[in-house]
Amino acid sequence: MTTLLKQTRLGALFKLRRDEAVPVLLAGLFFFCVLTALMVLRPARDALGMQRGIEAVRWLFMGTALVTLLANPVFGWLVSRLPRLTFIAATYVFFALSLVGFHLLLVLAPEAVGITSGQVFYVWFSVFNLFATMLFWALMADRFTLEQSKRFFALISVGGTLGAIFGPWLASVLARPLGTPALLLVSAGFLMLALGAAWAVARSQRSGAASDGADGSGQAERPEHAIIGGSAWQGLKAVFASRYLLGIAVYVIIMAVVATLLYFTRLQMVAALGGDMDQRTALFARIDLITQLTTLVLQALIAGRVMERFGVHLTLMLLPLTVVLGFVGLAIVGTLAALIVFEATFRAVQRALTRPARETLYTVVSREDKYKSKAFIDTFGYRGGDVAGAQVEGLLGRLGMGLAGLASVAIPLTLAWAALGLWLGRAQQRLAAEREASLPPVPAAAPGEPSTTRSPTP
């Protein structure tokens, strides 16, 4: 039977067993590389998207939602016909080659770069962002059991937060000597490092699915060589056929709506201050710094313990309750300082607590749903929520409703969101218990041999 890492405070602090240390460290490295690749380019994405003002950003959200809808059956086709590591590699290599293509355009034909091409890059980057992070978390849900995910999904997320801090810093250091186009190649390089880490994570130990069989039949086929099969549209169909998956989709959509309401409220309040671009950039940078530092502390020291002690269901309720309190305070105070505190808290709780808890929900579904249904929920579902939030915020603005009007819409929606989080956590517990009960009993260990345990995940 595995034991906690001996003689190390780190192992005891995070309840990390000896055989789990390498997979967790590799997963953190994987997420670090993904977030570095994304955050190196995010400032350029935001600058290009704002060239035609706030109203244009709302239409870019719609364009991104449409592209993700079109991309999902293509990704579903890859999942149906290729082994796990192959379709993961195909996706990351495609985005890396796209980055190289954008780099060549900037270097060889700079006169062709304008507002339209900038908006194309904005939409492409948004899709890249969604699929890169979705694939990471899909592999995590496939590799780790429900019990493991509660203990160290938050710890693994620290790698992503460090990447989110390192990426902008690296961009600021390299932009002047190398030029902005070179950052595209830097991003592509980190994406290839992420792919290498993904390969190492998948092979570092057998996942719970591998131990019990990909289909729960007990056939120990290595998952990196297995082909999931099914149709390209199966992910979308499964979401509407399963109350559990549909509940996850609605949870994600509401979260995206609330985040977008906050995003556009910030843009409006900052724009009303006037000032030049440098002043706005400095303000946004301070918000990001506060958020990242708060997130890092929550992920490293609090998040894993919250999920273990209070359960996924209560953890999923924390962000909605934070939003309720935040909108009440914002409606009363109505200052930019209050908004900064609210948004920083929202994003920190979302990244440190809600995201790891939400990803544990996929540990109790089939491998096909981990990749296909999750792809639909985390891409089109999220961007659909962005579109809805942007349009709601625009409508409230046209009606002349201020922060009180925004709160009157957001708070009832958020209370329903909290109730949904509670239901999802309870449903996850029930599905895990049903799956465990359906598996054959584990044979007793022979005298002198270590005892064995069964993974609760499919």
- DSSP one-letter string for 385-397: HHHHHHHHHHHHH
- The span from the CA of 63 to the CA of 51, in Å, is 16
Domains contained in the chain, number: 1
Instruction: Indicate whether 223 belongs to any domain.
Output: no
Torsions phi, psi for 350 (to 5 deg): -60, -50
Is 350 a domain residue?
Answer: yes
Residue 188 lies in a domain: yes
| Structural domain includes residue 425 | yes
Q: Walk along the chain (458 residues) and give the pLDDT tens digit of each residue.
A: 444 444 455 555 556 777 788 889 999 999 999 999 998 887 666 555 555 555 666 677 788 888 888 888 888 899 988 888 899 999 999 999 999 988 888 788 766 666 666 678 878 888 898 899 999 999 999 888 888 888 888 889 889 989 988 988 888 788 778 877 888 899 999 999 999 999 999 887 554 444 344 444 333 445 556 778 777 788 888 999 999 999 999 999 999 999 888 887 877 776 666 555 545 555 665 666 677 777 777 777 776 677 778 888 899 999 999 999 988 888 888 777 788 788 888 888 888 889 989 999 999 998 889 999 998 998 888 888 888 888 887 777 777 666 777 788 888 999 999 999 999 999 999 998 887 777 665 454 444 444 444 444 33
What are the distances in angstroms from CA 254 to CA 49, 249, 260, 338, 417? 24, 9, 10, 22, 7
Q: Round to whole Å and give the CA distance between 241 and 442.
A: 32
How many helices (H) and strands (E) in the chain? 19, 0
453 Rama class: left (phi>0) / alpha (psi -120 to 50) / beta: beta
Q: Judge whether 197 and 26 are in contact, CB under 8 Å.
A: yes
- Amino acid letter, 17: R
Q: Does any domain span residue 95?
A: yes
| 8 found inside a domain | no
Q: What is the CATH classification number for the domain harbouring 344?
A: 1.20.1250.20
Cα 349 to the center of its chain, rounded Å:
13
CA 303-308-314 angle, to 5 degrees, is 75
Q: Which domain holds residue 158?
A: 16-207+229-438
Q: Is 4 within the bounds of a domain?
A: no
Which residues have CB under 8 Å from 364's CB, separation 6+? 146, 428, 431, 432, 435, 456, 457, 458
List, in sequence order, the alpha helices (H) in 109-145.
115-143
Report helix, strand or coil for 4.
strand
265's tokens: 């409220």
